[in-house]
Structure 1
Amino acid sequence: MPGEITRFVLKISLILAVFGASAPVLAEDMLVIAHRGASGERPEHTLAAYELAIDQGADYVEPDLVVTKDLVLVARHENELSDTTDVGSREEFADRRRSKTIDGRLVSGWFAEDFTLAELRTLRAKERLPGIRPANTRYDGLYQVPTFAEIVQLVRAKEAETGRTIGLYPELKHPTFLLQDAGIDSVDLLVTALREAGLDGADAAVFVQCFEVGPLRRLDRLVDVKLVQLVNTNDGPADEPAMRYGDMVSPSGLAEIADYADAVGVNMNLLFGPEGIPSGLASDAQEAGLAVHAWTLRKENAYLPPVLRRGTAENGTGDVLGMVTILEAQGIDGVFTDDPGLVVSALAQ
């Protein structure tokens, strides 16, 4: 297997040389960002997932933040709850099911902003990808939905235990929708929470990320923490219908992002062409003064390029070391991963 990895990286290097690109430079201290915690081994966005990620050596833990009816920041992948909790089986909440148009897409289910925190506390988390991660389903029903304050408390306890700095990397989910639909200002709530925790300064181990532009510009005026503009392979920011992510990752678009953000969080598919050849986005972003954080490295074959898959099972474990090596060769500054333990181990090699 190491020989296969070496040959693949050498192939990329040779192709770059042929096309006149500079030789790859290995990233120094690539950040390991635990995507929703160690979500490859525990149901995502649970205190258990965050704690395991920290124990495995993650530099940052990433909570996606939504808001309750009584204005409490809580961690869920989406404001719609049925994929990650048992709300759909709770008869007492059957009448809460409804449909909403979120960022131009019709979504049906149960929404965090329609529940108080006390009501959410009665729900239990479940594995979001049971077909890919059947082993995680044994933890279904064990964990509550955590608040952002509880995640901060956990991080501080683990810092005291380990003697190392552990960062927070929250993402604001659908802030414009929440403001327009429910009158909930999640930007203001997050700013207040960061200030109360003493985490609003430039030296805080905090990145705040969002797919939208306006909320990041507001945050840039309100706090000094590092900000990250998320970009995807299609569409554009929900709050800026005329903008497309494809234009935002052009050299001129990246220069505009650098006016208010410190990094770009990019879908890994934007970093490589169909044959695995680097797209140039990483170097363009870094020339604009932006760090590059790639998402999302998962161990399962289903999420890896064909050359790094091992066996034929979609949920089989592929070549994580190979993917880390390729990202390092591009000088990527950080990587989101569901499997921080494997990535930390790969970086050590």
Structure 2
Amino acid sequence: MHRIQIAVGTVLIITLLFPISFVSATKNDNKDQFEHPASMKHSARRYINKPSIQLGPRPLLLVDDMDDSALKKKLQQCANETFYKTDFSIGHRGAALQFPEHSKESYEAAAQTGAGIIECDVTFTKDKVLVCRHSQCDLHTTTNILTTTLANKCSSPPDFSSDRPFANVQCCTSDITLAEFKTLKAKMNTGNPNANTVKEYLNAMPHPRTDLYSANATVLSHAESIELFKRLNVKMTPELKAPSVEMPFHGFTQQAYAQKMIDEYKAAGVKPKNVYPQSFNLDDVLYWITNEPEFGKQAIFLENMDSVADLPEAIARLSTLPDKGIKIVAPPLWGLVTLNESNQIIPSKYAETAKALGLDIITWTLERSRLLKNGGGWYYQTITEAINNDGDTMTLLDVLAKEVGVLGVFSDWPATVTYYANCMKIR
């Protein structure tokens, strides 16, 4: 990779400010192009005849970093194509690798880099208005609240009488009203619990992310995100987040919370086929299936697995889901793959079981790991021994698409998945 570092450094800076497109007059036909099985057609993945998507240099950097293979050669041959958005590419919290998650700017970047579906994690404020945040109690790390007078309203504000004033800091959307929430600015998700000052607490950017686009990042209500997604012409996948407060919250029940999320799509005139509601809470998914069947039929049950030890229980649970009306499951990346005796990445028992039961699969989250030279960390825990460079991102993606047959992939940088999907003619 040393041979391109200087040029890429310059291109990356220019591209992040003024994104570029890879353009060609024609697309390459390839007899080996991947066709999806019939069971996946309902996902409605397709290219949209809109201006070309702006992918920037990262996808080709990953391809260049791959070990030599037929896949690498195939991906290199797509460099000069025109790219279009695809539902296979799902913006995880927008484009959170470079932009503050769940901000207007992050969502716009996700659409610009080809995400056909974008996620708003849904929680609620003190006045029970739905907003986009990954957690009800993450404002101290994902916004500038600690630099404002609203810090005094936090559930657990900094304790400057302590040797570690930020050790237990916690600021929740449920601590403030929507009007107060809208005065905040989104920022990259960082926080140093060992800091002594607010500045030190906020100055904790994890590698390889950046604060470059945090200066004026805009927080959004859930309803505002819907209107933005409509303008961006993308589908929507809201995740109903587990409340951090005791429910009912001032009379606001879990069922009312689940219903309100769907009601906001109905009020905005969004067709159910364009919405993929998600939850880690099985009862939420079952509520939608029973009470909002048009939305519930493509509701996603998120698998909550922390380690390989959780796989047997998750596999056993799969057989109970179809009878409950669940059609789509979403485990983490590592739950879908394992290694064979030759150290090659292959589908896991979980993936094989889900497919045998007729369940469709979406997975999370590509491009959320640090550099992969040391095995990739949590998201690659079942295939660590086969991971030694960033290009292995594309190798994993290829197995997920062709051998596991996932409907889509959540990514913190949708351009990567968009590039692969376009190259393989995944529609």
Pick one of 229, 237, 246 that aligns with 1:169: 237
* Equivalent residue number for residue 127 of structure 2: 70
Decide whether aligned partners of structure 1 residues 248 and 187 sit closer, same or farther in structure 2, where only a CA change above 3 A counts. farther
SS at match of 1:51: helix
Identity of aligned residues (%): 25
Task: Supply the distance in 1 between the matched residues of 2:271 and 2:215 (Cα, whole angstroms).
Answer: 34
Deviation of residue 332 (structure 1)?
A: 1.8
Partner amino acid for 2:185?
R
Pick one of 90, 97, 105 that aligns with 1:48: 105
Conserved 8 A contact 2:153-2:176: no
Matched, 1:6 2:69: yes
Q: What is the TM-score normalised by the length of structure 2?
A: 0.64
Deviation string, structure 1 residues 115-148 (Cα, Å, up to 9, x no partner): 101111111111115212343x022231231011
Conserved 8 A contact 1:229-1:257: no
Pick one of 273, 280, 285 that aligns with 2:349: 280
Q: Which runs of 5+ in 2 are unaligned?
A: 1-63, 73-85, 158-166, 191-204
Deviation of residue 346 (structure 1)?
A: 2.0
Deviation string, structure 1 residues 293-344 (Cα, Å, up to 9, x no partner): 111001642546454443xxxxxx5543222112123222211101111211
Conserved 8 A contact 2:303-2:332: yes
Task: Supply the distance in 2 between the matched residues of 1:256 and 1:107 (Cα, whole angstroms).
Answer: 40
Pick one of 179, 182, 199 that aligns with 1:118: 179
Conserved 8 A contact 1:308-1:322: no
Matched, 1:301 2:371: yes
Greater alpha carbon shift after TM alignment, 31-40 vs 267-276: 267-276
Conserved 8 A contact 1:85-1:123: yes
Partner amino acid for 1:186?
Y
SS at match of 2:347: coil
Conserved 8 A contact 1:216-1:260: no
Matched, 1:228 2:292: no
Pick one of 362, 381, 404 that aligns with 1:330: 404
Pick one of 133, 136, 151 that aligns with 2:208: 133
Pick one of 137, 143, 150 that aligns with 2:224: 150
Task: Supply the distance in 1 between the matched residues of 2:417 and 2:219 (Cα, whole angstroms).
Answer: 26
Partner amino acid for 2:263?
T
Matched, 1:253 2:313: no
Decide whether aligned partners of structure 1 residues 86 and 5 sit closer, same or farther in structure 2, where only a CA change above 3 A counts. farther
Partner amino acid for 2:321?
I
Greater alpha carbon shift after TM alignment, 285-294 vs 271-280: 271-280
Task: Supply the distance in 2 between the matched residues of 1:57 and 1:178 (Cα, whole angstroms).
Answer: 38
Pick one of 132, 137, 147 that aligns with 1:89: 147
Decide whether aligned partners of structure 1 residues 228 and 207 sit closer, same or farther in structure 2, where only a CA change above 3 A counts. same
Task: Supply the distance in 1 between the matched residues of 2:274 and 2:313 (Cα, whole angstroms).
Answer: 26
Deviation of residue 348 (structure 1)?
A: 2.6
SS at match of 1:98: coil
Partner amino acid for 1:262?
K
Task: Supply the distance in 1 between the matched residues of 2:227 and 2:127 (Cα, whole angstroms).
Answer: 21
SS at match of 2:281: coil
- Within 5 Å, give how 1:147-226 maps onto structure 2: 147-159=221-233, 166-175=234-243, 179-184=247-252, 185-199=256-270, 201=272, 204-223=273-292, 224-225=294-295, 226=298
Partner amino acid for 2:184?
L
Deviation string, structure 1 residues 43-98 (Cα, Å, up to 9, x no partner): 11011111111121111001111101112111111111111011122244324233
Decide whether aligned partners of structure 1 residues 69 and 321 sit closer, same or farther in structure 2, where only a CA change above 3 A counts. same
* Equivalent residue number for residue 79 of structure 1: 136
Decide whether aligned partners of structure 1 residues 131 and 176 sit closer, same or farther in structure 2, where only a CA change above 3 A counts. closer
Task: Supply the distance in 2 between the matched residues of 1:247 and 1:280 (Cα, whole angstroms).
Answer: 9
Greater alpha carbon shift after TM alignment, 87-96 vs 256-265: 87-96
Partner amino acid for 2:318?
L
Q: Which has the larger radius of gyration?
A: 2
SS at match of 1:273: strand
Q: What is the TM-score normalised by the length of structure 1?
A: 0.77
SS at match of 1:332: coil
Task: Supply the distance in 2 between the matched residues of 1:213 and 1:134 (Cα, whole angstroms).
Answer: 33
Decide whether aligned partners of structure 1 residues 79 and 42 sit closer, same or farther in structure 2, where only a CA change above 3 A counts. same
SS at match of 1:82: helix
* Equivalent residue number for residue 361 of structure 2: 292
Across the aligned residues of Structure 1 and Structure 2, the Cα RMSD in angstroms comes to 2.9
Number of residues of Structure 1 aligned to a counterpart in Structure 2: 300
Deviation of residue 30 (structure 1)?
A: 7.0
Partner amino acid for 1:230?
L
Conserved 8 A contact 1:320-1:343: no
* Equivalent residue number for residue 420 of structure 2: 346
